[in-house]
Structure 1
Amino acid sequence: MGVDYYNILKVSKNASEEDVKKSYKRLAMKWHPDKNVVNTKEAEAKFKQISEAYDVLSDPQKRQIYDLYGEEGLMSGFYPPPSSKEKGFKFSPRDAEDIFEEFFGGFDVGKEKSNGGGGGGRRLKKAAAMETKLPCSLEELYKGSRRKMKISRTVLDESGKPGTVEEVLAIQIKPGWKKGTKITFPEKGNHEPGAAPGDLIFVVDEKSHPIFKRDGNDLIVHQKISLLDALTGKTLNITTLDGRDIPLTVSDIIKPGHEMVIENEGMPLSKEPGKNGNLRIKFDVKFPSRLTAEQKSDLRRVLGRTIE
């Protein structure tokens, strides 16, 4: 007894051309080998059967011969379709992936085949990656953090109909990451029927900080200092991004634009754990608009001359 193509495609013998197409679309999406990575061999076999059944039932001449003489008659080549004057018509099954590509379109038609032959093995063309910004504070990029992102994506069900699902992704932000760093997640949605999933990519975007500015692996902080303190010296406290206080003693005369460097107190080096860039303190000397008598006296003492 021959193969029952109607049963394989889950349609009745009086199914219309549209019924055949709808059923093939649903079953092909369900059993395509690329969507069945666990039971690939079973999927390849079913996918090949479904494709062969569609190839026959979607073609009026092949379907006529099959309805009259069955699979054996179709394969034998002895029986032409009733409406044809040809002596015979031999059916040669087409490649399952060629049929799938022809039906859905948009494929990367390669030469690779699986060990199972024509029942699958070509990879679906990958959909374009989706990129979205991931705003991060400088503190997060300094200390590292774990972020949870709730996303909505479009997926296709077994019948090829699009639907929306929600998913929560856990993103581990590593210390020292820079603006533009990409975190990639395999994505199953937002693609056309027949296209393989594209990637979902989060791109780090660094938020501005009210105190610190990043320069590569260095951190820059602008420290205001009065003219008197710039001349006489002072002990300052610099609070780091992780909350530590670093005492900074100013002993030399500070000129406008002077810069002090504290090594290993900048941003962490993501590729060299335990190492940091430098912390650079740039001094802004504040010149007073007027001086009190006491301040004038202090300045005379510091400068060693009379100030008018």
Structure 2
Amino acid sequence: MGQDYYAVLELRRSATDADIKKAYRRLALKSHPLKCKEPGAPERFRQLAEAYDVLSDPMKKGIYDKFGEEGLKGGIPEEFGDDNPWTAGYVFHNNPNKVFREFFGGDNPFAEFFAEDGTELIVPFGGLRGRGAMKQDPPIVRDLYLSLEDLFYGCTKKIKISRRVMNEDDQTSTIRDKILTIDVRPGWKQGTRITFEKEGDQGPNIIPADITFIVQEKLHPRFKRTDDNLIFVATVPLGKALTGCAVPVKTLDGRLLNIPVNDIVDPFSLLFSPKYCKVVPGEGMPLLHDPRRKGDLLIYFDICFPKKLTPDQKTLLRSALLS
């Protein structure tokens, strides 16, 4: 179940653009880590920024409303993508302070806050940095959604980011686009991290943040991955389970395997514990350090029992099974 961005902003799904802005203004000021010292404040502040980043953008909001978080971040399903300009999954830049600054502009929204002694507390806009001290922004973490085919063959992904770049005067800055190239290696797994150092926003007295992408595997219609192996569930009629059969499996590289199953697949034990597994060596995912070698294909079985039997069929079964 994906995130409910409306719930994060305490809104109904019928909320207008003005409602979204009003909710973010109220909750972001309330949950800002400079004001709120509760342990969960930074994460709450980040969730608010991501929710506002999505719902304040008409295109992202439209995709989220129709396809939910999975469609937004994983990319629109193929059948909907032909005429839609959204070609890649959404990734939040994970910099809630950037959303906060862009929302409030150059004004200091904390001018109303006061220190414990009653004097006005002036918070430098953009956070409490040491005067003149160089400090690196926190890492920006994004999900990189890849299909099993991408991870089987390897591929190249080009991702466009927008970043603030300092101008030659070292005082002003400009938003510019940049393309980051990720060479996906065969055998990469979920959780693999790819870091681009210092590719975040530039600014005076700061070291740009690193940008890190974390591999997430998209759901596959035929296979489930476990380590370097692939799991395939074959639907087999009861008769074939008892008498043997060939199981057709279309591999990730497009080949059609006909796997012979000569052992008796016990349908009754499968009802309680699907222990029987047909192992096909070398038909899994490539090994990262030696892509010429592969893991195994593990075939499990979903036995289809007949819904009804004729008297003659019942007689034959009794004769075969009770003899």
TM-score > 0.5 by shorter chain:
yes
- Asked if 1:259 corresponds to 2:272, the answer is no
Residues in 2 aligned to 1:278 and 1:192: alpha-carbon distance in whole angstroms:
50
Q: What does residue 197 of structure 2 align with?
A: 186
What's the offset of the Cα at 1:145? 1.3
Residues in 1 aligned to 2:294 and 2:183: alpha-carbon distance in whole angstroms:
20
Residues in 2 aligned to 1:103 and 1:209: alpha-carbon distance in whole angstroms:
49
3-state SS of paired residue (2:182): strand
Residues in 1 aligned to 2:186 and 2:211: alpha-carbon distance in whole angstroms:
22
What's the offset of the Cα at 1:193? 1.4
User: Which amino acid is the alignment partner of residue 306 of structure 2?
Assistant: P
- Asked if 1:174 corresponds to 2:192, the answer is no
Residues in 1 aligned to 2:130 and 2:263: alpha-carbon distance in whole angstroms:
79
Q: CA distance change for structure 1 residues 259 and 103 in 2, over 3 Å: closer, same or farther? A: closer
How many residues align? The count is: 187
What's the offset of the Cα at 1:231? 0.7
Residue correspondence of structure 1 range 1-150 to structure 2 within 5 A: 105-107=132-134, 125-150=135-160
- Asked if 1:225 corresponds to 2:236, the answer is yes
Residues in 2 aligned to 1:209 and 1:227: alpha-carbon distance in whole angstroms:
26
Q: CA distance change for structure 1 residues 223 and 253 in 2, over 3 Å: closer, same or farther? A: same
What's the offset of the Cα at 1:196? 2.1
Q: What does residue 163 of structure 2 align with?
A: 153
Q: CA distance change for structure 1 residues 290 and 131 in 2, over 3 Å: closer, same or farther? A: same
Q: CA distance change for structure 1 residues 252 and 301 in 2, over 3 Å: closer, same or farther? A: farther
Is the 8 Å Cα contact of residues 104 and 193 (structure 1) preserved in structure 2? no
Residues in 2 aligned to 1:274 and 1:139: alpha-carbon distance in whole angstroms:
16
Q: CA distance change for structure 1 residues 224 and 200 in 2, over 3 Å: closer, same or farther? A: same
Q: CA distance change for structure 1 residues 252 and 180 in 2, over 3 Å: closer, same or farther? A: same
Q: CA distance change for structure 1 residues 295 and 142 in 2, over 3 Å: closer, same or farther? A: farther
Q: Which has the larger radius of gyration?
A: 1
User: Which amino acid is the alignment partner of residue 261 of structure 1?
Assistant: V
User: Which amino acid is the alignment partner of residue 105 of structure 1?
Assistant: G
User: Which amino acid is the alignment partner of residue 260 of structure 1?
Assistant: K
What's the offset of the Cα at 1:201? 1.4
- Asked if 1:283 corresponds to 2:294, the answer is no
Structure 2: gaps of 5 or more residues: 1-128
- Asked if 1:199 corresponds to 2:210, the answer is yes
Q: CA distance change for structure 1 residues 293 and 249 in 2, over 3 Å: closer, same or farther? A: farther
- Asked if 1:216 corresponds to 2:227, the answer is yes
Instruction: Identify which of structures 1 and 2 has the higher relative contact order when contacts are C-alpha pairs closer than 8 Å and 6+ apart.
Output: 1
Residues in 1 aligned to 2:245 and 2:174: alpha-carbon distance in whole angstroms:
65
User: Which amino acid is the alignment partner of residue 144 of structure 2?
Assistant: L
User: Which amino acid is the alignment partner of residue 185 of structure 1?
Assistant: F
3-state SS of paired residue (2:188): coil
Residues in 2 aligned to 1:279 and 1:286: alpha-carbon distance in whole angstroms:
22
Is the 8 Å Cα contact of residues 279 and 299 (structure 2) preserved in structure 1? yes
Is the 8 Å Cα contact of residues 245 and 260 (structure 2) preserved in structure 1? yes
Is the 8 Å Cα contact of residues 182 and 204 (structure 1) preserved in structure 2? yes
**Per-residue Cα deviation, 1:57-76 (whole angstroms, up to 9, x for no partner):** xxxxxxxxxxxxxxxxxxxx
Structure 1: gaps of 5 or more residues: 1-101, 108-124
3-state SS of paired residue (1:141): helix
3-state SS of paired residue (1:229): helix
Q: CA distance change for structure 1 residues 262 and 190 in 2, over 3 Å: closer, same or farther? A: same
3-state SS of paired residue (2:286): coil
CA RMSD of aligned residues (A): 2.3
Is the 8 Å Cα contact of residues 234 and 247 (structure 2) preserved in structure 1? no
Q: Percent identity?
A: 40
Q: What does residue 95 of structure 1 align with?
A: none
User: Which amino acid is the alignment partner of residue 307 of structure 2?
Assistant: S
Residues in 2 aligned to 1:194 and 1:203: alpha-carbon distance in whole angstroms:
28
With normalisation by structure 2, the TM-score equals 0.53
Is the 8 Å Cα contact of residues 155 and 165 (structure 1) preserved in structure 2? yes
Residues in 2 aligned to 1:192 and 1:106: alpha-carbon distance in whole angstroms:
12
